[in-house]
Structure 1
Amino acid sequence: MGAFTAVILAITILMSCLLIYVPNMHIIALQVEDEKLSGGRISVMDMLRSSEEALQEESAATRDSVLKGHQIRLTLPQNVTSASVSIDNIHVDKTIAITINGIGKDYFSNYPMRGASNNIVDVTYDSENLVGVIEITMDDVLEVQMTSEDEYIYFDFVDPHEIYDYVVVVDAGHGGNVPGATKQGVYEKDLNLDIVLELKKLFDRTDKNIGVYYTRTDDSNPSFENRVGLANDSEADLFLSVHNNSTASGRMSSINGTEVMYEGGDTTGESKSFSTLCLVHLLNELGSKSKGTVVGDEVYIIRMSEPPVALVEVGFMTNQKELDLLQDSEYQAKAAKALYDAVIEYLY
Structure 2
Amino acid sequence: MTLKVALAMPAQTARAVFPARSLDPLEPSLTLLSRDPLQDFRTQRAQAVLRETDILLTGWGCPMIDDDVLDHAPQLKYVLHAAGSVKHHIGAACWERGIQVSSAADANAIPVAEYTVAMIVLANKRVLQIARVLHTTHAEVLPEQLFPDMGNYRKRVGIIGASRIGRHVIRLLRDYELDIVVADPYLTEAEAGALGVERVSLDQLVATSDIVSLHAPSLPSTRNLIDAELIRRLRSGATFINTARGELVDQDALLARIQRGDLYAILDVTTPWVLPSESAFYTHPNVLLTPHVAGSLGNELERMASSAVAEALRLARGEPLRFPVRAEDLAFTA
TM-score, normalised to structure 1's length? 0.24
Instruction: Identify the structure with bigger relative contact order (alpha carbons < 8 Å, sequence gap 6+).
Output: 2
- In proportion to residue count, which structure has more strand? 1
Larger Cα-atom Rg: 1
TM-score, normalised to structure 2's length? 0.25
